[in-house]
């Protein structure tokens, strides 16, 4: 596997970002607060999916309990807009299980252990994507 050292990563970053257009739906505190106040906090991610999501984009959602209504609503909006979806879930997957194209469920009761496993799995997913982008 090809490793990218930190200095080369900064050089490669514009190419990677241009190819995959990443957007963290948790990154804009003002937007989250405004959407939460105006539409309810269960809509904070769904409103962003509606604004930014395009057909065949990928939405990745994380919820330890699988019961987060804001994640459920984001997945519903993504499905309506024909986005691809992956969920990282904990425990038994909760009500979110089965909503995404791919569910990655970490069985267990410890929130901290579930979140650690999610973080590891996200890193593995990123490595796979980076490797495929490097060879495309």
Superfamily of domain 24-134: Glucose-6-phosphate isomerase like protein; domain 1 (3.40.50.10490)
Q: Is the pTM of this model over 0.85?
A: no
Residues 70, 41: Cα–Cα separation, whole Å: 7
What are the tens digits of pLDDT across the range 111-120?
Answer: 999 999 999 9
- Does residue 98 have a pLDDT over 90? yes
Q: Enter the tokens of residue 118.
A: 């999610």
- Does residue 15 have a pLDDT over 80? no
Residues 116, 45: Cα–Cα separation, whole Å: 23
Residue ranges per structural domain of the chain: 24-134
Residues 114, 89: Cα–Cα separation, whole Å: 8
What are the tens digits of pLDDT across the range 58-73?
Answer: 999 999 999 999 999 9
């Amino acid at each position: 596997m090809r490793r990218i050292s930190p200095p080369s990563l900064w050089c490669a970053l514009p190419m990677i970002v241009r190819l995959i257009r990443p957007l963290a739906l948790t990154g804009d505190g003002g937007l989250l607060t405004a959407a939460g106040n105006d539409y309810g906090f269960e809509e904070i991610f769904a409103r962003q999916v509606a604004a930014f999501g395009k057909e065949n984009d990928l939405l990745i959602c994380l919820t330890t309990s699988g019961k987060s209504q804001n994640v459920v609503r984001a997945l519903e909006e993504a499905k309506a807009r024909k986005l691809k979806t992956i969920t990282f879930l904990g425990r038994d997957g909760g009500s979110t299980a089965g909503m995404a194209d791919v569910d990655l469920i970490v069985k267990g009761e410890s929130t901290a252990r579930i979140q650690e496993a999610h973080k590891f799995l996200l890193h593995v997913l990123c490595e796979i994507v980076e490797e495929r982008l490097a060879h495309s």
